[in-house]
Each structure stands twice: as C-alpha cells, then as structure tokens.
C-alpha cells in the first residue's frame, strides 16, 4: 500500500497592488466595521492610497510564513497585525 505524501508545499503567494485595489474597491461600504474596527467605506475610498503599503505588509507577512488572521487563534499576533494595518493607514493619511 502506498504511503500518503506528508510533505506539504506552499506555493509562493504574492499579493499585487492591483489585486488589493480590486478587493478594496469591491468592499460593501454599507457594512459595519469588522473586528479590526476599520470601516469598509474608509478602505474603499482610500484604496489607491492604501494598496501599496498594505501590499508590502501582506507580502512581508506571507514571506515570513505568518498568517496572523488564521494563526491557530493567536490573538496577540492578529492584534499586532491589525495595529500595523492601522498605523499604515494613519501614515498614509498624514502624508
């Protein structure tokens, strides 16, 4: 009987600026903010300004092999990620 392949290979994932713009533009601005407290209207209206810094943040997270959103319920890592997103948004607004 053949043994199952237990090696897992994660493909290289890269988030592009264009992908983020499309995703942010398609947010439903009438919805309530999520657990991060960021209103979708803000994300949608600032999609062009936020796409590059968020792309860098997401790609750095992917490159490091961390997924703060689905990291086995690690709330501290998720909260750190959200703080980084909010800081990135504030820096973009302040420019």
pLDDT one-digit tens code per residue, 35-84: 778 888 988 998 998 888 888 888 887 777 766 566 555 666 667 767 77
- Structure tokens of 31? 């919805």
Number of Cβ within a 10 Å radius of residue 50? 23
Q: Which of 63, 56, 81 is nearest to 71 (CA)?
A: 81
Q: If pLDDT is split at 50, 70 and 90, which confidence band does 20 have?
A: confident
* CB of 24 closer than 8 Å to CB of 50: yes
Instruction: Answer yes or no: pTM beyond 0.85.
Output: no
Q: Which of 18, 20, 68 is nearest to 44 (CA)?
A: 20
Q: Return contacts of 73-82, CB within 8 angstroms, 24+ apart.
A: 81/57, 82/35, 82/36, 82/37
């Amino acid at each position: 009987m053949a043994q199952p392949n237990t090696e897992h290979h994660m493909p290289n994932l890269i988030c592009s600026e264009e992908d983020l713009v499309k995703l942010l533009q398609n947010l439903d601005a009438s919805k309530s903010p999520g657990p991060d407290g960021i209103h979708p209207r803000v994300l949608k209206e600032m999609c062009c300004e936020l796409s590059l810094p968020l792309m860098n943040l997401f790609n750095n997270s992917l490159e490091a092999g961390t997924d703060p959103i689905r990291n086995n319920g690690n709330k501290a890592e998720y909260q750190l990620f959200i703080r980084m997103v909010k800081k990135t948004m504030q820096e973009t607004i302040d420019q």
